[in-house]
Structure 1
Amino acid sequence: MAEKTVSQKTQEIDAQTVSPMMQQYLEIKRQHPNEILFYRIGDFYEMFFEDAVTASRELELTLTGKACGLDERAPMCGVPFHSYEIYAARLISKGYKVAICEQMENPATAKGLVKRDIIRVITPGTVIESSMLADDKNNYLCSICARRSRGRWKAGICFADISTGEAYATELNTEKTGTAIITELCRYMPSEILINPAVLDLKEVTNYIRQHTNALVELREDACYQQSVIDTALCDQFGADWKQTCHFAPDGLVPFAFGALLGYLHETQKHGVDRIKSVQNYADAQYMHLSPVTRANLELTETMRGREKRGTLLWVLDKTETSMGKRQLRSWIEQPLVDSAAINRRLDAVEALYTANVTRADLRDALSHVFDIERLTTRILYGSATPREVKALGDTCACLPSVRELAGSCKAPLLEELSGQIDPLGDIQNLISRALIDDPPANLKDGGAIRAGYNAEVDELRDIMHGGKGVLSQLEAKLKEETGIPKLKIGFNKVFGYFIEVSRSYVGSVPDTFIRKQTLTTGERYITPELKELENKILGANERLLVLEHQLFAELLEAISNQLLRIQRTASAVAQLDVLASFAEAAVQNNYVKPTVDDSDVLTITEGRHPVIEQMLKGSLFVPNDTTLDEGENRMLMITGPNMAGKSTYMRQNALIALMAQIGSFVPASRCHVGVVDAIYTRVGASDDLAAGQSTFMVEMTEVAEILQHATRDSLVILDEIGRGTSTFDGMSIARAVVEYICDQIGCKTLFATHYHELTSMDQDVYGVKNYNIAVKKRGDDITFLRRIVPGPADDSYGIEVAKLAGLPDAVTKRAHAVLRQLEASAPGAHTAMQLDFETVEAYNNPTVPSEVVDKLNTVDIETLTPLEALNFLFELKKALNGSH
């Protein structure tokens, strides 16, 4: 649970003893004690006292000092204001908050101390700067409000990305509210979390946040959740009828969670909060349930080890052309659908694009010219967009008619619907085109962004600036002619401005209208009313032009902001189109097929392949496999076979194929029929959680318990090698009991891999269990994995052969084979067989056995014999028998 605060020593300084500027700084700092204050002075954001010490350490800046009226200089460091985002981003990533204190008036015209105020507090969940955000990932701020009543917990949880305007909310009212909260946190992965005090009592939630996320946690006071405060926040945001427009559940906690989130945004952002125009309410039942363990095991968006994109399902399917599409794709993968009708709408759209090669190529080309209009619009709304970014929005608008036409030409209902939601935004494109030049500057500091002809005053001021030297030359020639002074010249310096200079020999010819300004050794300098008026025009033109360009640009931003809903709806449609085109392109490139998705209970896959591994092994043959699962006779596949043969790959690929189908993607198979599953649960591999005081076996049993408690008949369960962390008999007993419970009590589709070959007999005892194994070809002591799953149990575990493949020395593997033969010979079953063989031999060949041999047999304890002792005993028996004849 990341949280950084700044030392409070600054608060103890007596403001009366410091300079006026430092008094202003301390007054503002006292209002933001827990943020690092970026205090604007000229072209720098300066930090003082403890903030300076902290920033210099974290940012590796030089720590200097500033006289402030105290005995000691105030510690100070600073960053250039034009590149502050780089430094702010580094502080945010380290868990700090940054308060931006701006000059609220022009220092050149200000009387006395320049007014300053906080314009914004940057926190991990409120970042809008493109340089501080990942293009392919949403940046969510989360708010949780939980309460306990009559021994039962319930909660409201919401997520908002202010960089795009998206907002989602849901009520959680289950027996396992803490687990439900964790599931939602995994779904959205927020970078900042607001909680009410009651959440602190949900230890599993706080432990999860602390141990498994890097989110900054902000504890909000109970006062932030009072009904009157919440009503005001929601009313200000959505209007007086917010209860009808937001569709929050009556008597639920979502209004409190969302109201607290809005209050926090108003505190930190000051303006721009109206970017959030609506809230999408969802129920957990709308999406497939994926636990944190399942998401990690299936490596949907990041790998388990490197936590990178390459090697994930997201990496395989990402053929998107826009940043909006990349974020939408991630969202769809994180939230597979469970409504078969909605899934098939997506699949039909993908099919239409899959078959229309030319249209798909043209659509993807058009999308490649679309900028991130979601985040551009947010920066426009905040007033922080640059002229170049606004021009990018205009360029995007020019591409929208083509995107709309191409999408509409594909006869699929979803594509036609999305086409209709795309507004060409021609009026916005026209406005931007008229207002800005073709290649505007990166920022407005030096002006030059407004197109000629857009504003008459701008054109006039530019004429004055550009024609100023020509006007001065004309005036100089005119004065020479009127006065008859040939060496008269007009000059300029920063002290006097423009002046007329006359050499000493012509001073007597100077007219009375000239006003002496300065005496030189070589002559005199004068001014005239006409020259002064021209000076004011020329010098004032540049300053006035900059002010006017800023004003016109601000008006342009406001005009665009007024069309926010149109732009937001268009951006959403474009993002979805991009993902559907990406699915179609991935299907073409990777040879995927359209799955049949319905509400049946089957999962039938013909020649299924692992979508990620086959891409990682490009150029190598991936062996496909079939799968038949249902909720009847084939509800559990008991899979045996040696390590490294491909059991885990096979099980994961089936889970990924089902998930791919339910996000609307084609799948890696020759045929596929998916009956919608409501959840995927996995228990794959084992890793100690020593930091939490849990052993491998404890982690395994906890995860299995979660599966048995939450899986339903419509779930898909993947269990790999459970029961290994304890003794053989205990582990086998637990594994068998789990199999029986799943088959008899839950009845869900299950893939169960095990090395306990004794469990393969359960197909005779438990309805729904089917044995399968990974085929292996053995030649002597060498084995070859065929990667093919076939009916029936494995005939051997091939552990020593696998160890040999892993590189164990020959001496070790040979000794292992010898020990194995001894163990097999000395196993209880082997002794029994040996004893029976002796009795048979005795009865057949020696009706009368010597008493010496009988005595030896009666007194020996075969169960305690070592292999060597057994051989010696056998030798003695043979010797005794031979001696009797």
Structure 2
Amino acid sequence: MSKRQTSSSNLKQSSLTSFFTPTTSTTSTTTTTNNKKKDEMDEDKAPVVVAKKSSSPRTKKQSPNVNIEEEEEEEEEEVKPKRKSSSKATKKQDTPATTTTSTSGRRIVSTNVNIGSMLDSDSEDEVFLKKRKKRPDSDDDYNPDGKDDEDESLSEDDGFIVHQEEDSDVDIGNKQDDDDDIMTSFDTTSTTTTTTTTTNVIKIQPPITMSFGEGQRIIISERVSLPAGTPTFTRDEAAKKKLLKGLDTMEKIRLDARAAAQKELEGAPEGDDEGGDEEEEEKTKKKPAAAGKGKSSTSKAAAKVKYTPLEQQYVDIKKQYPDTVLMVECGYKYKFFGNDAEVANKVLNIYSYVVKNFLNASIPTVRLYHHLRRLVQAGYKVGVVEQIETAALKAVSDSKGGPFERKLTRLYTTSTFIDDQVDESNNTLDFSNISPNYLVAFYEDTQIKKIDSPTTRISFVAISVSTGEIIYDSFDDDLLRSHLETRLTHLKPTEILLPPEYKQKQDDGTDHFIYSKFTRLTSKTIKQYCKTNNVRVQLMKESLYDKDLSVSNITDLYDQFENNQETQTALSAALTLDSSQIVCLSVLTTYLKDFNQFNSILKVASNFKAFKISNHLILPRSTIDNLEILQNEDTKSEKGSLYWVMNRTQTIAGKRLFLNWICKPLIDLELIKLRQESVKELLNCIVERVKSIELIGSFLKSSIPDLQRNLSKVFYKSQCKPKDFLSTMKSFQRLSTLLSDVSRLGEFKSKVLKELFGINDEWAGERVEKFRVKVDTTLKAISHDEATSNCKENIWTDETRYPKLVETKAHIKEIQDKLDQYLKKVRKEVGKPTLEYLHQPRLHLEYLIELPVAFKQVPKDWLKINATQKLSRYHTPYIIENVKLLAQHRERLTLLANEAWLDFLGKVGNDYTLYSSMITKLALLDCLMSLAKLGMSAGYVLPELSSEPGINVVEGRHPIVEMTLGQKGGSYVPNSIKLSSAEERAMIITGPNMGGKSSFIRQTSLIVIMAQMGSYVPAESCTMGVFDAIYTRMGARDNIEHGSSTFFVELQETSQILAEATPRTLVILDELGRGTSTHDGVAIAYSSLLYIVEQLKCFCLFVTHYPLLSQIENMYPQNVSNYHMSFLEEQQNNPDNGQYQQQPKVIFLYKVVRGAAKNSYGINVATLANLPQPVIQSATLKSNELKQSITKKIFNNDSNNQFKQIIQQIKELSVNDSKIDQNQRFEKLLSLQKTIN
């Protein structure tokens, strides 16, 4: 035989015109068999494919091989999803499997779906299809060696889907010689023999791969067997027919199973356990339905689906949670059924297969949280269905004859998944690890239903399950929904609850899907944000958005809590929310009812916090993006952002708080100074190496888990393992020791640090002492060794607090003693005084009596459990009885231990407020230390703050660019800036492209943000007042989702700035007017800058390439100045023809100097970009012509009149003027766009 092919390629990439070599095989004998009907009480044994995956690249030897025995022409091509045996003779076309034995002794099997596959291996190709023994505590298959399956994930390149009929049992395929093929044999119970004639073998080179469905493929290897006499086809046609036939058959199995399951879930009648005669049912399947008469046979079969007990459990639970992907525990695996299996196949990349009525997929139990996290991150709601009884307890229960009881115990979504450990091994900023993962509900108050209002009132409540925070706010928003975007940017929700969608007819005749209770603009803003940021959306019932019902829901919820002072305080805090916010809170609590104990966070009044953006420096979404505060604009990662430069925190709690600080700098002058004072003191202590700093540094460097998330697990009693609990409590213990020691040293003098450590504060000192005592008492209650191994049965140092545990342990000890005494009797009986029990933990076997195989005096009532070639292992009737009792008591002990553990967590959770306050202290200390470490950077200075508005920075530097250049060995050119309300308030910045204009204006904004955080800044000196907001209009972008062009977005954002800026606002405008024609762009830029200078009188950095704007300096010489980025010109030699004057070479100096630039030198940039020389020459000539033309056009009388009209219209757009109707403002904005265009 020829050697196997060493590579395979996808059918989409390979041609079916491969080289074919026909050969002839020998005569063979065919054996036909039928399977017996399986017991409906047990789950079928699904075919298990264990494939040895290759770790080497595809260039190594690879040869997926599949033998397909061609069926006879009269054999039926479609496979029913379920076969039943019949006492009648089976016709040839109904034969489920055919086994062919060649002269070489190999078995070749042909079924209606006879497609297998092999994965790559370094040395050889192997496919093992194994039977599994039943595990005692499972409805499912069992691995006899006791080892968990390897992860069944297959890569897309290697993956395949195995579709198997439910009546086919699977044996282990025998591997032949290297030149032989791997065959798959199917067990049979009755046989008939037929003979086939010589078969043609067509070799296909190379192997062909065909995909069908999502991530599903069939690999056809080098040989396809066709019976003699098969009609002649071309090579392409033969291969294509074989492939399509296999695909159609397998697809039919999948679709039939899906259709039957879907009908049941949609309410189709279930099949009767005592249904009609099997023979009649078989006839019904075979008999085609008459055209136009009643239901087809397929429909009748689907309507009479007979489920196994496990399938029925799945169907019942799925009806309760139809939008949830269910992971069903079956012994050592978690299984997916039906559509959930397709989701698992798509997201987890694991293979699926048909068993009975459903498509199936499974994962090992040890990989539960790994795959659970992947499904949740993909946006699915996932439910874990667990076996809540074991074999030992089931044996003595009333339902011992039925399936294991299962129920949904846990639900997860992106906002409620707190059980997983944080993975911070990557370099990108994963905000899901440090952000609170808010779950948000919105409510919009508006009386306008038919048209979109430029302004509206929006309310929201956001709950963080991981930190316990409940954030609320109500605000008036503008046409851009900019305030909504800003809050979404600050909160970064991972899941949003919204009312149902409905279709709305627009004035232009188009249909739009919007959320009920929401305007179109609000709906589109939320949709766009969710789409861009992969936010999960859950639609809620519209009836939940009733205000009266919402108040009733909240009060009913609090009635379920324990009635104490803390609960009453929390209820008062909840009812002080306005009516719209209560609606949002009611929607959230309704949704969270199914998620463990998450609603219990409402019991803590301190969890309620207002989103007071007015108390902080306003940074709209556009500002956060343009200034790259959280992530780099190009790479979308932390590196290259302000957060990357400033963050030196060492705890997860500190990172969360620092993220809040950088998005919400302070505007209270006294608070900023207090923070500066503490940061400066910490920096000096670091330099002087005082004892307190050494203690703080040592603590922060220790391994500190995510205390906020772990405390939430304790509070919710949600999957808090003893090991995690011990780690958390030990961290709390070290924190309490740190607070006490630093307080006792009394080395800090600043107000913030003294309050943090309780220095000279008796009340604070008592609170820290109370915290220390609580932690020490808790740690003494548990055994640290047992907690480290997650053993709940023996974790208590004082077991008398749980008497039932003591009682159950006594029963276990009694049985163990009996078995030990019984061993003495067995020794005498077999004559082996040194005989000891053998235990096999991996096989869940114990108290085995091991004897040599040659031992002949084994009593007849002894049960042989297993054996090797030399040894046999037995259980006596006495051992069997006592081992059964032992298992029952152990299971009872496990249940009692879990109950005791939850009770213990509940008692610890009663002090949630105390523990949470200490985490706040830790986070504050970590952030202050981070700013102190940043202040030690070379060239950083602490700003001097004053009450007078303005900024004076000497030799300031861009913090992000400086750090990036520093890593590459470069340095940043510093620049100074001085703005004040009494003198220069606006800078018009011109200069050559790539000269550093944008970097300069960003530098100034970032220094302001850092200063108002209380941080050191990169400059020689910095004196500034406090700004209330930073607005930016930079770059060019459109908004396709809102149907807005680049220029219209530019007008909208400019309108917002002009409407909201105050004399204490810093406005950054970079190339305003670039979105339209040159003369119209100049008009917009000119009129906007005039309005800023004349009316708003805010601080402004205006970057432009329009030289004509420099004329404004002449109009307001005291308030406006022209600046440009300095450069050097190096004249070039002109060509011989003299008609073309070559552009001078420009050398950038990156320094801001007084005066307006005469040229932008864009053509010089074109030269740097290596544009063709003829293009550059032509552009130079055209540039000179346009300069003269534009100058004439801008300053003619018509243009002056147009300037005045535009200025007046922009003034009238102010949303602060209550006399202007908001609909009129919207119409004027559209009119302005038409005027300019």
In the other structure, the counterpart of 2:344 is 55
Aligned residue for 1:253?
A: 580
Q: Which runs of 5+ in 1 are unaligned?
A: 1-5, 68-72, 830-885
Match of 2:752 in 1: 414
**Is residue 335 of structure 1 aligned with residue 655 of structure 2?**
no
Q: Which residue of 2 is the match for residue 671 of structure 1?
A: 1021
Give yes or no for the alignment of 1:12 onto 2:267: yes
Cα distance change of structure 1 residues 438 and 608 upon mapping to structure 2, 3 Å threshold: farther
User: Given that residues 780 and 797 in structure 2 are in contact (C-alpha distance below 8 angstroms), is that contact kept between their aligned partners in structure 1?
Assistant: no
The equivalent of 1:321 in structure 2 is 650
Question: Could you say which residue in structure 1 is the equivalent of 2:456?
Answer: 153
One of 624, 629, 649 as aligned partner of 2:979: 629
Aligned counterparts of 1:484 and 1:97: Cα–Cα separation in 2? 59
Partner of 1:104: 388
3-state secondary structure, aligned to 1:130: coil
2:538 maps to 1:205: no
Is the CA contact (8 Å cut-off) linking 1:607 and 1:670 kept in structure 2? Answer: yes
Amino acid across the alignment from 2:308: S
Q: Greater CA deviation, 544-553 or 728-737?
A: 544-553
Contact in 1 for aligned 2:524/2:1041 (Cα 8 Å): no
Structure 1 residues 199 and 415: CA distance shift in structure 2, 3 A: farther
Instruction: After TM superposition, give the deviation of residue 84 of structure 1 in Å.
Output: 2.1
Q: CA deviation at 1:827?
A: 9.3
Q: Residue 175 of structure 1: CA displacement?
A: 5.9
| Mean Cα deviation higher: 99-108 or 661-670 | 99-108
State the Cα deviation string for residues 22-61 of structure 1 (Å, max 9, x = none).
Answer: 3332222111111112222223332222222233233222
Aligned residue type for 1:325 = G
Q: Do structure 1's residue 742 and structure 2's residue 1026 form an aligned pair?
A: no
The alpha-carbon distance between structure 1 residues 201 and 434, as it changes in their structure 2 partners (threshold 3 A), is closer
What's the offset of the Cα at 1:295? 1.2
2:109 is matched with none
Please give the secondary structure, in 2, of the residue aligned with 1:718. strand
Please say which of residues 147-156 and 533-542 is displaced more in the overlay. 533-542
Asked if structure 2 preserves the Cα contact closer than 8 Å seen for 1:490 and 1:501, the reply is no
Is 1:597–2:942 an aligned residue pair?
Answer: no
Aligned-residue offset at 1:703 = 1.8
Looking at structure 2, the residues matched to 526 and 628 of structure 1 have their Cα atoms a distance apart, in angstroms, of 92
Structure 2 letter corresponding to 1:378 = S
| Equivalence for 1:236 | 557
State the distance in 2 between where 1:470 and 1:566 align.
47
**Identity rate of aligned residues, in percent?**
28
Instruction: Compute the displacement of 1:331 (Å).
Output: 1.5
Give the deviation of 1:178 after TM superposition.
3.8
Change (3 A) 1:754 1:234: farther
2: CA distance, partners of 1:149 / 1:284: 26
Q: Is 1:640 aligned with 2:968? A: no
- Is the CA contact (8 Å cut-off) linking 2:1034 and 2:1070 kept in structure 1? yes
8 Å contact kept, 1:684–1:720: yes
Show the counterpart of 1:554: 902
Mapping of 1:103-122 within 5 angstroms? Answer: 103-110=387-394, 111=399, 112-122=402-412
* Residue aligned with 2:648, SS: coil
- Of 1144, 1147, 1150 in structure 2, the residue corresponding to residue 784 of structure 1 is 1147
Q: Relative to 1, partners in 2 of residues 1:818 and 1:734: Cα closer, same or farther, differing over 3 Å?
A: closer
Between the aligned partners of 1:426 and 1:142, the Cα distance in structure 2 is 37
1:369-422: per-residue Cα shift (whole Å, max 9, x none)?
A: 222111011222333022221121122023203442448642221222233478
Q: Which amino acid aligns with 1:669?
A: A
> What does residue 221 of structure 2 align with?
none
Deviation (angstroms), 1:486: 7.3
Q: 1:199 to 1:34 in 2, by over 3 A?
A: same
Distance, in Å, in 2 between the alignment partners of 1:646 and 1:504 is 92
Q: Which residue of 2 aligns with 1:364?
A: 697
| 1:817-850 Cα shifts (integer Å, max 9, x gaps) | 5665677799989xxxxxxxxxxxxxxxxxxxxx
Change (3 A) 1:636 1:492: closer
Aligned to 1:727: 1077
One-letter code of the match for 2:1121? Answer: K
CA contact (8 A) 2:943 2:1023 kept: yes
**Cα–Cα, structure 1 residues 720 and 496, in superposed 2: closer, same or farther, change >3 Å?**
closer
In structure 2, how many angstroms separate the alpha carbons of the residues matched to 1:562 and 1:826? 78
Residue of structure 2 equivalent to 1:583 = 931
Count of paired positions: 807
- Superposed CA deviations along residues 594-634 of structure 1, whole A, max 9, x for unmatched, are 22334421122222111111000103221111111233431
- CA offset at residue 212 of structure 1? 3.1
The worse-fitting range, judged by mean Cα deviation, of 648-657 and 123-132 is: 123-132
Q: Is the 8 A contact 1:607 1:669 kept in 2?
A: yes
Structure of higher RCO (CA pairs closer than 8 Å, 6+ residues apart): 1
1:766-786 deviations in Å (ceiling 9; x for gaps): 362111111112233333222
> How far is 1:322 from its partner?
0.4
**Is 1:392 aligned to 2:727, yes or no?**
yes
Residue equivalent to 1:286: 615
- Assess if the C-alpha contact under 8 Å between 1:155 and 1:172 holds in 2: yes
The question of whether the paired residues in 2 share the 8 Å contact of 1:248 and 1:281 is answered with no
1:333-357 alpha-carbon deviations (Å, 9 max, x no partner): 1222222222222222211212110
2:354 matched residue in structure 1: 65
Q: Which has the higher helix share?
A: 1
Cα deviation digits, residues 178-211 of structure 1 (max 9, x gap): 4332221121110111134676532222222222
The 3-state SS of whatever aligns with 1:109 is: helix
Q: Secondary structure at the match of 1:778?
A: strand
Q: Distance in 2 between matches of 1:345 and 1:219?
A: 45
Match of 1:265 in 2: 592
The CA deviation at 1:577 is: 1.4
- Whether the 8 Å CA contact 1:144–1:196 is kept in 2: the answer is no
CA positional deviation for 1:165? 0.9
1:37 alignment partner, SS class: strand
Q: Distance in 2 between matches of 1:616 and 1:500?
A: 70
User: Is 1:709 aligned with 2:1059?
Assistant: yes
Q: Is it true that 1:87 corresponds to 2:371 in the alignment?
A: yes
AA aligned opposite 1:202: T
State the alpha-carbon separation in 2 of the partners of residues 563 and 828 from structure 1: 74
Q: Secondary structure in 2 aligned to 1:258? A: helix
Q: CA deviation at 1:123?
A: 1.7
Name the CA distance, whole Å, in 2 between partners of 1:745 and 1:765. 14
Whether 1:379 and 2:713 are equivalent positions in the alignment is yes
| Greater displacement, 11-20 / 583-592 | 11-20
- Report the TM-score when normalising by structure 2: 0.60
Matched, 1:661 2:661: no
The residue that corresponds to 1:187 in the other structure is: 490
Q: 1:45 touches 1:79 (CA, 8 Å); kept in 2?
A: yes
Distance in 1 separating the partners of 2:832 and 2:622: 91
RMSD: 4.1
The verdict on how the C-alpha distance between 1:610 and 1:495 changes in structure 2, with shifts beyond 3 A counting, is closer
Alpha-carbon separation, structure 1, partners of 2:708 and 2:1051? 45
- Which residue is equivalent to 1:849? none
Structure 2: stretches of 5+ with no match in the other structure: 1-258, 272-305, 424-431, 501-514, 559-565, 759-763, 865-870, 1132-1143, 1193-1237
Residues 1:691 and 1:235: Cα distance change in structure 2 (over 3 Å): closer
2:1037 paired residue number:
687
Decide whether aligned partners of structure 1 residues 518 and 812 sit closer, same or farther in structure 2, where only a CA change above 3 A counts: closer
Report the AA paired with residue 999 of structure 2.
T
Contact 2:862 2:877 in 1 (8 A): no
Aligned to 2:1167: 804
